[in-house]
Amino acid sequence: MSDAVRPHRRHCASCGAKLSGPWCSHCGERARKPEDVRLREYLGELVDALTNLEGRFLGSLRALAFRPGLLTTEFMAGRRVHWMRPLHLFLLINLAYFFLSQWNTFSTPLAMHLTINNFPHRAVAESLVNRAINQPAMEARAWTEVVGGLLRANPALDAEQLDALERLRAYAREFNRRVELYSRTLII
pTM above 0.75, yes or no: no
Nearest partner of 54 among 84, 76, 24, judged by Cα:
84
Name every residue whose Cβ is closer than 8 Å to that of residue 19 and which is 6 or more positions away in sequence. Answer: 9, 10, 11, 12, 31
The tens digit of pLDDT for each residue in 25-49 reads 888 787 777 777 788 877 887 777 6
Provide, for the chain, the percentages of residues in helix, strand and coil under a 3-state DSSP scheme, each rounded to the nearest 5: 60, 0, 40
Preceding amide of 7 cis, omega within 30: no
C-alpha–C-alpha distance, residues 83 and 2, integer Å:
21
DSSP 41-110: HHHHHHHHHHH--SSHHHHHHHHHHHSTTHHHHHHHTT--TTS--HHHHHHHHHHHHHHHGGG--TT--H
Most confident of 16-20, 135-139, 177-181: 135-139
Quick check: 7 pLDDT over 70?
Answer: no
Region 144-161: what's the mean pLDDT?
85
Q: Percent of the chain, pLDDT > 90?
A: 12
Quick check: 5 pLDDT over 70?
Answer: no
Mean of per-residue pLDDT scores for the chain: 81
pLDDT band for position 53 (50/70/90)? low
35 φ, ψ to 5°? -75, -5
Quick check: 146 pLDDT over 60?
Answer: yes
pLDDT band for position 3 (50/70/90)? very low
The residue type found at 5 is V
Predicted pLDDT of residue 170: 94
Of 20-34, 57-71, 132-146, the one with minimum mean pLDDT is 20-34
The tens digit of pLDDT for each residue in 90-123 reads 888 888 877 776 666 577 888 888 888 778 888 8
